[in-house]
Amino acid sequence: MEGQQESPISGVKPTATAPRTVPPGQSLIAERRRSKPDIVLRSEIPRTSSGPAEITTPVSATFRPRSDSLISVEHSIPELPLEESLLSPDTKDPPPDSLGPTHDELENRPIEAPLTKSPTIELPSIISTIPVKPLPEIVNEPQATISAADKETWDRTLPRVIRGIVSIKATTVRPFDTETAGDYTATGFVIDAKRGLILSNRHVVSPAPITAVGIFFNYEEVKLAPIYRDPVHDFGIFRYDPADLKHITATEIPLRPDLARVGLDIKVVGNDAGEKLSILGSTLARLDRPAPIYGSDMYNDFNTFYFQAASGTSGGSSGSPVLNVQGEAIALNAGGSRSSQSSFYLPLDRVVRAVELIKRGEPVPRGTLQTEFFHQSYDELKRLGMSDENMMACRERNSEATGLLTVRMVLKGGPAASPQPTNAANNTEEDPSIPIKGLEPSDILLTCNGKYITNFIGLWEIIDESVDKEITLEVYRAKVLRKCTLKVQDLHSITPDRFLHFGGAIFHDASYQECRWYNEAIGNGTFCASSGFMMWNSYSRDFLVTKVDGKPTPNLEVFMQVIKEIPDYKRIQCMTRGLGKSDDQLLMVDVDWHFYPASLFVRDDDKGVWRREDISPPAAVEDVKTLAPPTVDGETDSGIDVESVPSSPQPPETDAATPGPQDPSPQIETTDEDSDEEEEEDTPLDVAIEELRCSMAYVRCFLPHTIYGHTSNQSYSGVGLILAVDPIPLIFFDRTCIPTDMVDIRLTIANKNIAGRIVYMGDFVLLTFDKTLLPEGSKILIPEWDPKPLKVRESVKIFGLTSDQLLSTKETTISSIGTNSNTWACNPPRHRLINTENISIAEGASCWGGVIVRMEQLKSIKPGENIKVAAWMMTVSSQSSGTDSYWTQGIDMHRYVLPIVREIEEKKLARYDHSTWDLGFEFSDAALPTVSAMGLSQKRFNDFVKQAKKIRGVARPLIVETRMQPPKTTLTEEEEANGLKVGDILLEIDGNPIYKVGQLTEFKFEGRETASVLVLRNSQELLLNVPVVKSWPNTGDRVIQIFGAIVHASHAAAIEQVAKTARNVPLDSEGLYISGVSYGSPALDKMRPTFWILSIDDHPVATIDDVLQLARERKWAQGEYVRIKQVNRVGITSIASVKVDDRFWPLYQWRMNHETGKWKMTKETGLQYNNELSNNGMKQFKDKVVPSPASSEGVQITQTVLQENKEAPLVGEAVATV
C-alpha cells in the first residue's frame, strides 16, 4: 500500500503516493482502497477497525477496507411520512420498446432539434379528495431556484417514482476479485415490474458471492438474486419475485439516455447516507467527464464517459436513478468526490442494450481488445501529432465532436498487444501500406470497420457485436494513418465466475479488473483474493501464485489439479508474485485440509446463486509423518546424539569437535601460507555455549480462527527450552508464542522444521515432537540446572535465540526476585499470567526467550563442563490502554515447570490435563510501609524483612486484588464475612506464613472444600475458612462455527470479567462463548463477540452438544430466520435474528484428538450443497487446450472449462420463477 491509511470516519487526510501514472487531462482522484480516496463508491459499507476487540458502537462509512477484524452494522431505516393512498399504481410509464438510439442516429441528430418531453401524467381525480401530507424534506438540494411549473411537476413525479426505489441491504460472503467480505447498503430501482428486474451499480450487484434483500418504501422486503453484472461498466441487475410484493405495486422507471443534456434539472432519489429515502437535486453540468478513479485493488470503470453534477450524494446512494422532471432515468448514480459536492453518473446507453437482451432471455455479448481508450480534445491531439488537415476533416464530419479516442494502455498478452519487435518487424512497421499488428499508447483512433468513431458508444456498438470476430481499426500513429486488424475477445472469458476456498484462502483466475491496473498479463498465475490460514504469512491479498510444489499454476484449474494431490500437513514451496512486481518470492506453506473445508464455488447467473462442490483431501501417503505421540518406552532409536543429565549433577561427556555456529559470510579462498596455519580450537567456554544453544528451539504458531481471545490475523513465535528427550521429548514455551490448543505448530530444532504437539497447557506450554524426524546425528542437549537460587544484584548472562537461529547474548543483573507477576485484564478476554513469582532483569537481551546463567561460572568453566541454567527468561503479554504490550521476565523453573515435567515422565503421559484448585482470587504486592499502616504487628513486620534479606529483596506482602470468578449464587452476609475480600492482607494459609506469591504453589487444594486462611482486615487478624474453587479451563478441545460465529466453551479469562451482579451468564455449565464473528456471515449483523448464547429459537442451550442436537432436530431451511438469545459480561440480554445460509456458512465442528494432537473438522449442516455441480448436472466438464501466457516455451495447458446445461434440474434452492 502506498501512503498512510486513513479513517473515513475521522476524515484524517494522509499523505499518499499515486501508485501509477495518470494520463494527461485526468487526475488520480482516489488512492488505494486503504488510503483516503477523493471519490467513493456510493454504497454504504462499514469501515472496520483493526483487532478483535468487542464492538459496542455501530459505525458506517463509504467503502470497505481490507481488514480481517470484526465489526457489525446497524441499519437505520426511518419511517417515511407519506400516505400510500397518494401513490397511484396507474401512473407509471412503460419501459422503452427498443435498445435505444444507435450511434449513427445520435451522430446524425440535428443540432437544433428540440428534445421531446414525455407527456405529463395526471393523478386520478379521487386523489383531490384525500388530505395531502407534505413530501419528505429534500435533503441537501444545491439548486437555487426552481420554476413554479417544474416544482408542480416534481410534486407529481416524486410520489410516483418512489414506488420503484429500492433500498438494498447486501452481504459479500467471500472476498473475490476487487471485493472484500462484509455488509453494505445501497440503492436500486425497478426497470421491469413484470419480470422483477432492478437496476443498480456493478459494485452493488458485485462480482463476488452476495446475499441481498430489497426493501420498498412501504417496508416490504424481497429477496434479490444478482443475475448480471457488467465486467467493466458500473451497472448490474437484480431479480426478485413480483409475487413477493403483497401491498404495493412497483413503479417501473423508464431508461432514457437520449434525454441527457447540459443544464437539465435532475433529482437523485435513493438511500443516501443509509437513510430510507433521500431526494437530492442538481443540474447536469457535464456529459463527457472521464470515468472516476477509485484506486488500486478496487473496482474502476473505464472506456466510457460519465456525467457530472453537484448533487452531493454520499454512501448508500449507489444505484440511485438520476431522474428528469418526468420521472425518467437519464443516468445511474455511481460515485462522488470527497472534497467537493460533485457526483458522477453512468450514462445508460449500454445499459439499455443489456437490459433488453436480458428481458428477451438472451446472453449479453461483451467484447474486449484488452485496451483502455481515453478521449482527448483536438488541441491535445495536435500535440500528439495530428495534422490540421485531419482535424479539419474530423470537425466537418461531426461538428459536435470535440475530440477523438486515443489508446491509453494496452494490456500485455491481450488481443491488441503488439508482438515483440524484431529487426524484420521494425522494417515492416515503417511501411505505411503494411497493417500494424497491434495498438500502442498514443495511437489516435479514426475508424472501426469503416465507421468514423468519436466516442466510446460508437466503438463498443461494434466491438460488442463482434465477439470472436475480426475488426479493422484505422489509427494515426506518428502522423501516419495505419490499419490494424484485431480479433475481439470475449470479455466474459477473462472475468472470473468461480473460486476455490482452500485452507481459509480464496483463489480464482486473475481478472481483467485487477490485471489492468498493474499491466499484468492475464494467465500468469492464480490470483489469491484472501490469504487466509494456509498462506497467512504472505501478502495480505492481491497476489499471484505462480508455482505450487514446483509445478506452474497459470490458472485456477491447474492450481486445483496440483493442490488435490498434496496431503494434509505437508510443507511445500510456493512461488508468489505481487501484482505489478517483476520477481517471484518463495513462500513455505503448510497444506491444510483439517481446519478449513476445500470447496469450489461456481456462479449460476440463471438463478443468481453460487453452486458448491466440496473437494475431498487426498489419501494419506507413507512419507507424511503424523503427529502421533512419540514412543514412551524409554529408548532412543532415531540416531540422535542426546546428552541427558542425571538427577545428581555430573559433568556430561562432551564432543570437543562439535562445530560452532556456521559463519554466513562468504568463503575466502586460502593461500598456501594460510593453509600451513593450524585452525584455532574452540575454548571450553565456546564449546559449552554451543552445547547450550543446542538445548533451545524456535517455534512458529498458526491460528485458524479467533478463539479464546487470540486473533488469527497475527503471527505467534518464540524461543523454548528442551527439557527432556526420553521417554517423551518435552520443550518449554511461554503462552505468548503458543496461545491455545487449536493451532498448527512448526518447530525448528537442529536446523530442521518439524511439527509439534501440545502435551500440557497452563501458564506455560510443554510441547512434544516426533524425534525420528530429526536428521541422523543431530545433537540435542538437555540443560543442567543450577541448584543455587538467584539473588538480587547478582551478575548474570542471558543466552537466547533469534528467529534466524542466531545466538543472542546479554550481560545484566537481577533487579528483583519474588515480586508478583500480575498482568492486566485484556479485551477481548484472553489468558494472562497471574499469581506467579517474577525474576526481574535489569536489561533483557534482544530476543524473546533464553536461559539465565551466572557470570561467575562462565569465568571458570573447564573442558567438558556444561553451563548450569539458573532460570529461564520468558515473554509475557498483556494490554495497556487497549494496546497489546510485551515484556520479558525470569521464571523459576524448579518451582513452576520441572515438577510437571517429572510427573509427565513418570506416568508416561501423552497429554497432561489436570484441573486447578485454588482460593479463586488474584493477589498483588503491597508495600510494607502501607501494610504496616494498616495494622500489621511488629513481629510480622520483622518476619517480612528477615525473609526478604535472604534474597537481597524488598518485603512485599500479598493483598487480595480481584475475585477470579463471580459467585454462582448470591452470597449471604455470613458467607461474605467468612470469605476473602478485596483489600485483605494475606498472612497465613493452613498455619504457614506467606511472604511471597511463589509459596502458593506449595499448597494442594484439590479435593478440599475450604482452606484455613489468616488475613489482616481493618487492623485485625481474622481466621477464615475460605472456600476452595475449581478454576475454569483456559483452553479447550471443541469449537463450532454456527451462522459464521466461532463458538466454544467458556474460558477462565472470560469468566474473570463477568460482573458480580450478572445473573444470566452461564456459570453452572460449560457455556457457549462467542469468540469471533466472520466477515460476510449472517452472524456479522447481530451476534456479538464476547457474548454468551443462552437459547436458540427459545430452546435453552448450554453446551456444544446441545447446539448440535438442536440443529439435527430443527433442520433449519435455507433463508430461514433463527432467533438467538445472548448475554454480555454485565448480564444484559439481547436477541439476534440471523438468516440461515448453509451454502456458505454451514454448522462446522472441530474436535481435537488428545492422543494424536490432531483436529478433525466435521460438517453438521448444509450437506445438500456438498456436490451441487456433479449431483445436479448443472455443469459439465469439458477439456480444451488453451495457450498459457505463463509458459515461455509455448507449452499448452489443459484447462477444464465449465459449460452450462440449462435443462438440468436444480435442487435445494428457493428462487423466484420469472
Would strands 696-702 and 744-749 be described as parallel, antiparallel, or unpaired?
Answer: antiparallel
* Percent with pLDDT over 90 in the chain: 56
**Residue that wins the pLDDT comparison between 2 and 1110:** 1110
What is the helix (H) or strand (E) element at residue 156, kind and residue range?
helix 148-161
Contacts of 685 (CB under 8 A, 6+ apart): 858, 861
Confidence of residue 822 (pLDDT cuts 50, 70, 90): confident
**So what's the pLDDT on residue 90?**
34
Residue 759, φ and ψ in degrees, nearest 5: -105, -35
Which residue among 200, 296, 317, 511 is the active-site one? 317
| Residue 651 in this model has a pLDDT that exceeds 90 | no
470 occurs within a structural domain: yes
3-state secondary structure 722-774: EEECCCCCEEEEECCCCCCCCCEEEEEECCEEEEEEEEEECCEEEEEECHHHC
Strand ranges (E), 1175-1214: 1179-1187, 1196-1204
Range 1030-1042 average pLDDT: 92
| Residue 635 in this model has a pLDDT that exceeds 80 | no
The CATH number linked to 732 is 2.40.10.120
Beta carbons of 261 and 272 less than 8 angstroms apart: no
Residue 1016 sits in the same domain as residue 875 = no
What is the helix (H) or strand (E) element at residue 556, kind and residue range?
helix 556-563
Strand ranges (E), 134-277: 165-172, 182-192, 197-200, 210-215, 221-229, 236-239, 265-270
| Residue 84 in this model has a pLDDT that exceeds 50 | no
Cα–Cα dist 1137/213, whole Å: 15
Residue 1061 sits in the same domain as residue 1106 = yes
Cα–Cα dist 268/335, whole Å: 12
**So what's the pLDDT on residue 118?**
41
| Residue 137 in this model has a pLDDT that exceeds 90 | no
**So what's the pLDDT on residue 471?**
96
| CA-wise closest residue to 706 among 64, 68, 47, 66 | 68
Range 441-455 average pLDDT: 95
DSSP state at residue 493: G
Beta carbons of 63 and 203 less than 8 angstroms apart: no
* Degrees, nearest 5: CA angle 109-115-121: 145
Amino acid identity, residue 903?
E
Cα–Cα dist 514/231, whole Å: 12
**Residue that wins the pLDDT comparison between 441 and 973:** 441
Beta carbons of 514 and 297 less than 8 angstroms apart: yes
Is there a cis peptide before residue 789, judged by omega within 30 degrees of 0?
no
Residue 757 sits in the same domain as residue 810 = yes
**Residue that wins the pLDDT comparison between 133 and 733:** 733
Cα–Cα dist 437/456, whole Å: 22
Residue 973, φ and ψ in degrees, nearest 5: -60, -40
SS3 of residue 424 by DSSP: helix
| Residue 501 in this model has a pLDDT that exceeds 70 | yes
Window from 105-109, 126-130, 913-917 with minimum mean pLDDT: 126-130
Residue 716 sits in the same domain as residue 822 = yes
Would strands 551-552 and 543-548 be described as parallel, antiparallel, or unpaired?
Answer: antiparallel
**So what's the pLDDT on residue 579?**
87
**So what's the pLDDT on residue 1078?**
93
**So what's the pLDDT on residue 776?**
81
Residue 931 sits in the same domain as residue 888 = no
Query: 166 has which bridge partners?
Result: 188
Is 234 in the active site?
yes
**So what's the pLDDT on residue 265?**
94
Confidence of residue 1180 (pLDDT cuts 50, 70, 90): very low
Confidence of residue 60 (pLDDT cuts 50, 70, 90): very low
- Alpha helix (H) ranges present in 1043-1180? 1052-1056, 1104-1114, 1172-1175
| CA-wise closest residue to 894 among 813, 733, 784, 768 | 784
- Per-residue pLDDT reduced to its tens digit, 703-720: 999 999 998 877 899 999
| Residue 1021 in this model has a pLDDT that exceeds 90 | yes
- Per-residue pLDDT reduced to its tens digit, 1102-1154: 999 999 999 999 999 999 999 999 999 999 999 999 999 999 999 999 999 98
Cα–Cα dist 894/647, whole Å: 13
Residue 826 sits in the same domain as residue 924 = no
**Residue that wins the pLDDT comparison between 882 and 278:** 278
Cα–Cα dist 290/800, whole Å: 59
| Residue 625 in this model has a pLDDT that exceeds 80 | no
Window from 101-105, 248-252, 680-684, 799-803 with minimum mean pLDDT: 101-105
| Cell numbers that stand for 239 in this block | 431479480
In the listed set 1030, 1050, 1080, which residue is the last one of a domain according to the structure? 1030
| CA-wise closest residue to 1141 among 1034, 1041, 1030 | 1041
Which residue among 203, 375, 508, 1048 is the active-site one? 203
| Residue 1177 in this model has a pLDDT that exceeds 60 | no
Window from 208-217, 613-622, 845-854, 930-939 with minimum mean pLDDT: 613-622
Confidence of residue 266 (pLDDT cuts 50, 70, 90): very high
269 occurs within a structural domain: no
In the listed set 1005, 1030, 1055, which residue is the last one of a domain according to the structure? 1030
In which domain, by residue range, is 1043 found? Answer: 1038-1157
Q: In the chain, what is the straight-line distance between the N-terminal and C-terminal CA atoms, in Å?
A: 45
**Residue that wins the pLDDT comparison between 220 and 95:** 220
267 occurs within a structural domain: no
**So what's the pLDDT on residue 677?**
53
Range 1042-1056 average pLDDT: 95
Domain count, the chain: 4
Would strands 641-643 and 779-781 be described as parallel, antiparallel, or unpaired?
Answer: parallel
With left for phi above 0 and alpha for psi between -120 and 50, is residue 983 left, alpha or beta?
left
118 occurs within a structural domain: no
Amino acid identity, residue 474?
E
Which residue among 230, 234, 744, 763 is the active-site one? 234
Residue 1064 sits in the same domain as residue 939 = no
Contacts of 213 (CB under 8 A, 6+ apart): 168, 169, 170, 221, 222, 223, 224
Beta carbons of 222 and 608 less than 8 angstroms apart: no
**Residue that wins the pLDDT comparison between 9 and 397:** 397
| CA-wise closest residue to 411 among 370, 439, 440, 444 | 370
Confidence of residue 792 (pLDDT cuts 50, 70, 90): very high
**So what's the pLDDT on residue 430?**
66
Is there a cis peptide before residue 828, judged by omega within 30 degrees of 0?
yes
- Per-residue pLDDT reduced to its tens digit, 110-128: 433 333 334 444 444 433 4
On the 0-12 / 13-18 / 19+ scale of CB atoms within 10 A, 1196 is exposed
Beta carbons of 744 and 596 less than 8 angstroms apart: no
844 occurs within a structural domain: yes
**Residue that wins the pLDDT comparison between 550 and 86:** 550
The CATH number linked to 921 is 2.30.42.10
Residue 1047 sits in the same domain as residue 958 = no
295 occurs within a structural domain: no
Confidence of residue 620 (pLDDT cuts 50, 70, 90): low
Is 203 in the active site?
yes
Confidence of residue 1199 (pLDDT cuts 50, 70, 90): very low
Contacts of 121 (CB under 8 A, 6+ apart): 91, 93, 156, 160
Query: 331 has which bridge partners?
Result: 347
| Cell numbers that stand for 1217 in this block | 420463477
819 occurs within a structural domain: yes
SS3 content of the chain, % helix, strand, coil (to 5): 15, 30, 50
Confidence of residue 150 (pLDDT cuts 50, 70, 90): low
Beta carbons of 530 and 501 less than 8 angstroms apart: no
Residue 889 sits in the same domain as residue 766 = yes
Confidence of residue 812 (pLDDT cuts 50, 70, 90): very high
What is the helix (H) or strand (E) element at residue 321, kind and residue range?
strand 321-323
In the listed set 1030, 1065, 1091, which residue is the last one of a domain according to the structure? 1030
| Residue 692 in this model has a pLDDT that exceeds 80 | yes
**Mean of pLDDT over the chain:** 80
Residue 811 sits in the same domain as residue 876 = yes
- How crowded is residue 33: how many other Cβ atoms within 10 Å of its Cβ? 22
Residue 943 sits in the same domain as residue 1042 = no
421 occurs within a structural domain: yes
* Percent with pLDDT over 70 in the chain: 78
| Residue 38 in this model has a pLDDT that exceeds 70 | no
Most confident among 754-768, 909-923, 961-975 (mean pLDDT): 754-768
**So what's the pLDDT on residue 978?**
83
Residue 885 sits in the same domain as residue 962 = no
Is 815 in the active site?
no
Beta carbons of 1088 and 1074 less than 8 angstroms apart: yes
Crossing angle of helices 456-463 and 349-359, in 10° steps, is: 30
